Amino acid sequence: MTAVLFPGQGSQTKDMRADVERLRPDLLELAHSELGTDPFERIGEGTHFAQPAIYCASLAGWSLVDPGDASCMAGHSLGEFSALAAAGVLTEVDGLRLVALRGRLMHEAEVGGGMMAVGTPVDVAAELAGRFGLHVANDNAPEQVVLTGDGDAIDRAVDQAKAEGLRATRLRVSGAFHSPAMGAAAAELGAALDEVELGEPSVPVYCCVTTEPYGDVRRLLVEGLTSPVRWRETVLAMQSAGETRFLEVGPGKVLAGLVRRIIDGADATSLKEAARA
């Protein structure tokens, strides 16, 4: 049995539109209808196009997997919507509409923010964040942490981290994602979620806000806008529950690589890596 992983933003690849067109042309048509444009052709313009495109590409990848092989699922940020759709909690149509709304709301809240990656354990990164009024956005893997907050503070924190001998890089985003700055989007996303009918999951879907299988789906998806993505802890929670094999079904291979960093010797791969083997 396999823990199936769904990626978030940053996992896009050049060939993913072709994969969606080949595997799930209905999703490509649905995305165009929902957005009024082809999100794959405009993915470089911002998160409002990147998120729907990656959602569609992830579900296209999922179509290659026997659902009976999945013992649980987890998604990284945006990927939680893909995981919940794959598990039958959300319909694919509702999932796409929510992702399109989430992407638009996050894009509108981008002004003045920023994010940085720092190569240090999460406790050290949190201390650095505290000095500059920043927040931990992603605890991705040992010594791979992302901080978020005011753009000018991000620049100062990057300089300070480098002065202290740490690997630090400002990321190419203009929003303070997974921070209180995204709070303005919460009410509208919550209202949209209230209108959506939820189903029972076919397998447990782990939540990166709590590192446990989802409870209150609506509340936790809204909290995910402003809460850190606790990916490292979520992977360890799945391992503690007995998961020994991990498969990333998105367009890239980011999550599979993170799992191998989190669990020494992990049996973790992506569809892309498996296709090349």
Tell me what the pLDDT averaged over the chain comes to.
95
Q: Is 275 a residue whose pLDDT tops 80? A: no
Q: Looking at residue 191, what is its pLDDT?
A: 96
- Looking at residue 11, what is its pLDDT? 83
Q: Which pLDDT does position 277 carry in this prediction?
A: 61
pLDDT for position 13:
87
The CATH number for 113-170, chosen from 3.60.9.10, 3.30.70.250, 3.40.350.10, 3.90.800.10, is 3.30.70.250
173 pLDDT band (50/70/90 cuts)?
confident
- Per-domain residue ranges of the chain: 2-109+179-276, 113-170
Evaluate if residue 273 carries a pLDDT over 90.
no
Give me the pLDDT at residue 35, please.
93
Q: Is the pLDDT of residue 276 over 80?
A: no
Query: What is the DSSP code string of the chain?
Result: -EEEEE--TT---TTHHHHHHHH-HHHHHHHHHHHSS-GGGGGGG-HHHHHHHHHHHHHHHHTTS-GGGEEEEEE-TTHHHHHHHHTTSS-HHHHHHHHHHHHHHHHHT-TTEEEEEE-S-HHHHHHHHHHTT-EEEEEEETTEEEEEEEHHHHHHHHHHHHHTT--EEE-S--S-TTSGGGGGGHHHHHHHHHTS-----SS-EEETTTTEE-SSHHHHHHHTTTS-B-HHHHHHHHHHTT--EEEE-SSS-HHHHHHHHHSTT-EEEEHHHHHH-
pLDDT tier, 48 (very low <50, low <70, confident <90, very high otherwise): very high
Quote the pLDDT of residue 228: 97
pTM: predicted TM-score of the whole model, two decimal places: 0.95
Cα 214 to Cα 73, 80, 207, distances in angstroms: 10, 10, 5
Q: What is the pLDDT of residues 219-255, one digit of tens each?
A: 999 999 999 999 999 999 999 999 999 999 999 899 9
Q: Give the pLDDT confidence score for residue 274 in this predicted structure.
A: 80
Q: Is the pLDDT reported for residue 14 higher than 90?
A: no
Which CATH superfamily groups domain 2-109+179-276? Malonyl-Coenzyme A Acyl Carrier Protein, domain 2 (3.40.366.10)
Q: Model confidence at 199, in pLDDT bands (50, 70, 90)?
A: very high
Q: What is the mean pLDDT of residues 141-153?
A: 96
pLDDT at 174: 80
Mean pLDDT in residue range 164-181: 92
Q: Tell me the catalytic residues.
A: 77, 178
Q: Which tens digit of pLDDT belongs to each residue from 87-99?
A: 999 999 999 999 9
